[in-house]
Amino acid sequence: MLNTFDSSIRRKFRFSPAQVLVIGFASIILVGTILLSLPVSVPEGRSPEIIDSLFTATSAVCVTGLIVANTGDDFSPFGQMVILILLQIGGLGYMTMATLTALFVGKRITLRDRVIMQEALNQFNLRGLVRFTLYIVKVTLLFEIVGAIILSFYWMGKFPVVKAIYYGIFHSVSAFCNAGFSLFSTNLGAFTTDPVVTLVVSSLFIIGGIGYIVISDLYMYRKTKHLLIHTKFALTITGILILLGTVLIFVLERNNPATLGNLSLPHKILSSYFHSVTARTAGFNTLNIASFTIPALFLVVIFMFVGASPGGTGGGIKTTTFGVVISDIWATLRGKREVNIFKRRLGKDIIRKSFTVLFLGIGLIVLVTMLLLIIEKKELIRILFEVVSAFGTVGLSAAKGISLSLSSTFSAAGKLLIIITMFVGRLGPLTLGVAVIQAEDKTRYKYAEERVLIG
């Protein structure tokens, strides 16, 4: 009944919820581009290029972390604060910020607003959305403040007090939002063997990427003694990917002198773990990604494509989408007609949606990679790495010999392609596709069923 009611309400809107999200994110990026193009946003004597301002604003709002200008050196304190605000808005999401603003000024949250919030927050229904939005803000601020305090106090032994606090706040927000922006010219390369920075930052982006629904469900477990199937599934897939990534990166890079080769065993494990986790949308790095072996780079590409979990600050096709696809393939190979997880059956619509997201993502990556190979004429693995990093809103780059991303060497056309890829990756290919081409299904009949040969 509620789903029927939701559908009838959606049909009365001039813009669909998906279209509102697209317009909202685009508007924020536009404002950010204008602010970063101002002379006050860069050091005195420099003149920002509009394409670089657009690229940086998109990367911040889409919490990607790919950079064409060094955040700490090529932007003034004002420009850095603009970036910080943009990535905080991007991490929370357009509708979360809009709802918070509306509540602050005393505006009533309408039914139309709630439907858009449902789309933005990946919720199952309309109930409790305003309360859940406030919960998102509280959780975000709580973890960001805790992370900022730990990092600030730790860095006070290395930097002046004010600088340590500023660095602590910036990197805590960037980490929880899975943004990957850093004020250090080598990202976190100076902290390869530092367990405090490595573990605090990685913990922040794991929590931010696991999804607010999962965080809420885990918090309520002490009362309910029950977890949602979504929570169990997301945690299971996430745990498997973290463990698998850590082991494989360790195996592939343990003898590479440019990465893990010269580190002690504990530090090899620490760095393998960090890059296993950061590959799924966080974008921070303590090792030189460009020095990874080709197999390791391709492994990271796969992890970047999968991404984080739904309803969080990360990107990619999402862990649960990947899990559903694998589960359906496994069920098919076993001759099963239904896909079951944790003694529950998955609906056909969820399976169809998962495969749609998978192939839309693959299609976009193939298209953009092909175009960039024609335009920029660079190595396939590094172009592919950059494109998947943009799509997964990761921010890692395999550029050789520079501290910036490979995109910084692209032409304006190449940068624009990466900008579009980041935008699609943050909103999700399915959401953007629905916003562009979905029309109301008025079909009143069904065709006769037929079969075609498969495989």
What are the DSSP calls for 355-374, one per residue? HHHHHHHHHHHHHHHHHHHH
Q: Which of 447, 402, 420 is nearest to 365 (CA)?
A: 420
pLDDT (average), residues 285-298: 93
pLDDT (average), residues 407-432: 86
Contact 63, 315 (CB under 8 A): yes
Contact 235, 214 (CB under 8 A): yes
CA distance 46 to 337: 63
What is the per-residue pLDDT for 444? 66
Burial 35-52 (b: 16+ CB within 10 A, else e): bbbeeebbeeeeebeebb
CA distance 281 to 305: 9
* Range list of β-strands (E), 138-253: none
Q: How far is CA 141 from CA 144, 171, 172, in A?
A: 5, 13, 10
CA distance 206 to 314: 9
Q: Quick one: DSSP state of residue 344?
A: E
Q: Count other C-beta atoms under 10 Å from residue 284's C-beta.
A: 30
Q: Count other C-beta atoms under 10 Å from residue 326's C-beta.
A: 13
CA distance 92 to 182: 19
CA distance 283 to 274: 10
DSSP letters, 28-84, are HHHHHHHHHTSGGGS-TT----HHHHHHHHHHHHTT----SS-TTTSS-HHHHHHHH
Q: Quick one: DSSP state of residue 407?
A: G
Contact 63, 177 (CB under 8 A): yes
> Where are the alpha helices (H) located in 182-225, listed in sequence order?
195-210, 212-224
pLDDT (average), residues 361-380: 93
Mean pLDDT of the residues in the chain: 83
The number of C-alpha atoms within 13 Å of 389 and in the hemisphere containing its C-beta is 31
CA distance 164 to 161: 5
What is the per-residue pLDDT for 433? 60
Question: Which tens digits make up the pLDDT trace of 320-357?
Answer: 999 999 999 998 888 888 888 888 888 888 888 899 88
What is the per-residue pLDDT for 440? 53
- The pLDDT confidence band at residue 270, using thresholds 50, 70 and 90, is very high
CA distance 232 to 214: 9
Contacts of 106 (CB under 8 A, 6+ apart): none
CA distance 399 to 415: 14
Contacts of 221 (CB under 8 A, 6+ apart): 227
- The pLDDT confidence band at residue 315, using thresholds 50, 70 and 90, is confident
- The pLDDT confidence band at residue 152, using thresholds 50, 70 and 90, is very high
CA distance 152 to 408: 31
Structure tokens belonging to residue 46: 């420099």
Question: Which tens digits make up the pLDDT trace of 70-117?
Answer: 888 889 999 999 999 998 888 876 556 555 555 454 555 554 555 554
Domain locations in the chain?
A: 2-6+15-431
Contact 166, 138 (CB under 8 A): no
Q: Which of 66, 179, 57 is nearest to 407 (CA)?
A: 66
- The pLDDT confidence band at residue 172, using thresholds 50, 70 and 90, is very high
